Structure 1
Amino acid sequence: MYKGFEKKSNRMVTCVCIATLVILQLGLCFDKNTVYAEEEKESYIVITNEGSNIEQLKKDYNVIAENGDALTVEISDSEAARIETDKDIICVEKDFTIDTEVETGEDMVKPLSEIWNQDALNMEDSPSDQIVKVAVIDSGIDVTDNISVKERKNFIKETPVTTPLYEDFTGHGTSVASMLAGSGTGSDVIGTGGNIELYSARVLDENKQAPISSVVEAIYWAIEKDVKVINISFGTQIYSEALKTAIDAATDKGILVVAAAGNRGTEGVDYPAAFENVLAVGSVNAAGSVSDFSAKGEEVDVIAPGEAVLAQANFGEDLVLSGTSLAAPQAAIKSR
């Protein structure tokens, strides 16, 4: 009877051990899945090699936006690390917000004429027979008689455009476009280009902020539109591999990318102007001197009128403004 009890006890111990192992294994699996499920998802930019793996990425992850070879997806850090190991993935970068510096409001040198820049650049000599397709990546362009826009695309997902009449909440993009393509119709602002076909990519919100993903998407959109020039009149001090990859894709297609050097004085040139394959534009005043606010650095390629120049702003109003943002579009066509 004692031996029988011993055998029965051994069987019971074995069963208990097996059950314990099963429970522990299930517990481990549960903990792993719980951690994985609770891992925070963030916005990442994923750029593929000529469309490779895009469909698989769209199947596996929550895709927020897609343009060309660039996707914006919601993934965790561990998922990003796993995607990055794929040989067909060029770049995986966590999204961040570009917070552009405030445009300078001081006019250091008072010009004799509000349209001194037009005389300085010999705008009357600008060619008008050849159509040049130009993408303005900015805060949008309001509808005015002075500026004609071929096509518009809104990249601010949270703020849809109800009417292009007032799509530019800051007036920044409209001012930039007027310096580039103003016709002088109902305005004293005349742009440097003679026959420009404008493509407006709205990325900057009412605070002049934009996620870097939207800028990247806009660049790929411009590439798809087969533009010859891309103007970016804002920037950031933060290096972005995704932005560099998009810029490289544009210049590889023969597109001239022009960017404002920035208004940080001696603090350095902003990206994307600081990239070697981007035409970085600084500001000069009516006296022929580099503006104090204009970013200084060896990355600056050219200077153009950017201090106390007449530009068109919100609601079609002409205003005297300053900033490298205004200098960049004036150099865009002259440097092409």
Structure 2
Amino acid sequence: MKKILIYVIVIAALLISNVSATLAAPLNKQIGINVLLNTGINNRILAKLGTYGKINEMVYEINAVTMKIAENDLSAIRALPFVAAANPDAARNGAPIDTVSASDFADGWNTWDQDAINVTDFGVGRTIGYDGTGVYVAVLDTGLLDSWRQYFPQERIATQYAKAFRGGGGENGNVSEPPNMWEHDQNSHGTHVTSTILGYQYGTAKINGVAPLATVIPVKVLGQSGSGWSSVVARGITYIADLKAGPLADYPVVINMSLGGSILDAMEKAAIDYAIEQGVIVVASAGNEGTYGMGYPGAYAPVISVAASGWVGEWTAASWWRTLDVLEPTNPADFYITDFSSRELPGQDLDVAAPGSWIVGPYQTNSGQISYYYLGGTSMASPHVAGIVALMAQKDATLTASDAEGILEGSAISLAPGCRTVNDGYGNLVEYCWEADATGAGLATADAALAATP
């Protein structure tokens, strides 16, 4: 499986009449920044910050402010006595790695990835006694396609809590909340991620999910291109934390974030800390950068981070993803870590691995045209674990983030460093190798995690 990375660089050249103006221009570049305070927000602080630029947003729950400033003023803001941290708004991306069209969904409840985490078994159907009932899973992503009702039961989507946030990056001004945009996605990423948690429907055929009776809260924090900003992600996290502190206080709440970027943003970190304090459990993808290291927020220790594993039976038969049995008991020799899955670097925290190589689900490349694709990425691995956490939280409604992480790591099946030769989906046999920095504690499975949950 090849990793496809697309970088778009736009350079604007200005004709300037003197050298001094040319040198001064970069220093006055306007940027968006996120400022985390070490105290509460008040008028005195806002007035002082306002001398450096435009204040866009105040997020009182986490004592954070977003601003638009001249780049050369960032160091001065960092030096202010009431500033705990300040950094440029960080890019976030949720794009998958590989896509291959799939069209045959005529029968079958079991799929290889659900079988691999021991939620279902080939020819048997569902094999565990929990289904996510009473648990809310917030999917912070691109939102859902207009056609989402053709994939998911309406009662499984919490439309009363669904939300979209847009903006960020400073130059775009305030983070706005456009109504109903959460269900007008043109990207499909969030819909595919949701399908792993809930399962999905094709005609009269129903495909199983990890937690099919959980209730999903779609929160659109990424744009139609599948990218966005950490300030917007932080707003989404804070929104879910406030729901947990309010109307959802009596229900377990899990966040899935199949997204990430190269740096840990102070505002995003504070939002995660705030959410965990309210009782939310946060799961995120490890990233698709291979040996270049994990993405954030997944690499942040309190977050349950997920690497992408694959199965040696991939592409070995027609409709293999639903016609082949992943043998029980789980044998580590049947699995591998993908080449794109981010490896853990010093200072980063990788927890477990889950299926993320070739996951089938709803994915539209033409607006309004129902279609299904295999997608590969740690974006696809993360919702498997978010779903497992939902099952754990159904069993124990008092489950905390640290409890969930400890149980997942303690019950994971160790995957030693090694190599596997598998079909890459393009007719080639490819050897994938990995070291201990790629696996976390090992392969997450629902049955083992539930057995270890009090």
> What's the TM-score once normalised by structure 1's chain length?
0.74
Indicate the structure (1 or 2) with the bigger Cα radius of gyration. Answer: 1
- Count of residue pairs brought into register by the alignment: 294
What is the identity, as a one-letter code, of the residue corresponding to 1:297? E
Gaps of 5+ in 2: 1-23, 102-107, 120-125, 245-251, 313-334, 390-403, 405-454
Q: Which amino acid aligns with 1:286?
A: W
After superposition, give the CA deviation of every residue in 1:249-297 in whole Å (9 maximum; x if it has no partner). Answer: 2233332211111222222211111111111111111222222222222
Of 300, 307, 311, the residue aligned with 2:357 is 307
Q: Which residue of 1 aligns with 2:192?
A: 175
Q: 1:246 Cα deviation (Å)?
A: 2.4
Q: Which string of whole-angstrom CA distances, capped at 9 and with x for unpartnered residues, describes residues 156-189 of structure 1?
A: 2379757558522211111111111235474644
Equivalents in 1 of 2:301, 2:340: separation in Å?
22
Which residue of the partner structure matches residue 105 of structure 2?
A: none
Q: Which residue of 2 aligns with 1:7?
A: none
Larger helix proportion of the pair:
1
Q: Percent identity?
A: 26
- After alignment, is 241-250 or 53-62 more displaced? 53-62
Greater displacement, 151-160 / 175-184: 151-160
Letter of the structure 1 residue corresponding to residue 86 of structure 2: V
Partner residue, 2:240: 222
Quote the residue 1:144 is aligned against: 149
Aligned equivalents of 1:312, 1:283: Cα separation in 2: 19
Q: Which amino acid aligns with 1:119?
A: D
Match of 2:219 among 198, 201, 205: 201
The CA deviation at 1:46 is 2.4
Q: TM-score, normalised by structure 2?
A: 0.56
Distance 1:185 1:196, change over 3 A: farther
Q: CA deviation digits over 1:113-153, x for unaligned, max 9? A: 98211222233225236411222111112232415321222
- Map of 1:289 onto structure 2: 336
In structure 2, the CA distance between the partners of 1:120 and 1:129, relative to structure 1 (3 Å rule), is closer
Letter in 1 for 2:68: E
Hey, what does 1:154 align to over in structure 2?
164
Supply the AA of the counterpart residue of 1:302.
V
The alpha-carbon deviation at position 224 of structure 1 amounts to 0.9
Aligned mates of 1:213, 1:250 — CA distance in 2: 15
Match runs of 1:1-336 below 5 Å: 41-48=30-37, 52-54=40-42, 61=50, 62-67=54-59, 68-69=61-62, 70-76=64-70, 84=78, 88-99=82-93, 103-105=97-99, 115-123=111-119, 124=126, 125=128, 127-128=130-131, 130-142=133-145, 143-145=148-150, 146=152, 148-150=156-158, 151-157=161-167, 164=181, 167-182=184-199, 184=201, 186=203, 188-226=206-244, 228-287=253-312, 288-297=335-344, 299-314=349-364, 315=368, 316-335=370-389, 336=404
Tell me, yes or no, if the aligned pair for 1:285 and 1:305 is still in contact at 8 Å: yes
Secondary structure of 1:225's match? helix
Q: Give the Å deviation of 1:76.
A: 4.3
Does the C-alpha gap of structure 1 residues 277 and 122 become closer, same or farther in structure 2, counting only changes over 3 Å? Answer: same
Whole-angstrom CA distance in 2 between matches of 1:106 and 1:319: 6
Matched AA of 1:97: A
Indicate how the Cα distance of structure 1 residues 312 and 99 shifts in structure 2: closer, same or farther if over 3 A, else same: closer
Q: By how many angstroms is 1:304 displaced?
A: 1.1
CA contact (8 A) 1:265 1:293 kept: yes
Q: Which residue of 1 aligns with 2:436?
A: none
Letter in 2 for 1:134: V
Segment drifting more, 258-267 vs 56-65: 56-65
What secondary structure sits across from 2:162 in the alignment?
strand
Distance 1:58 1:241, change over 3 A: closer
After TM superposition, give the deviation of residue 203 of structure 1 in Å: 1.8
83-92 vs 136-145, greater mean Cα deviation: 83-92
Say if 1:189 and 1:310, in contact at 8 Å, map to a contact too: no
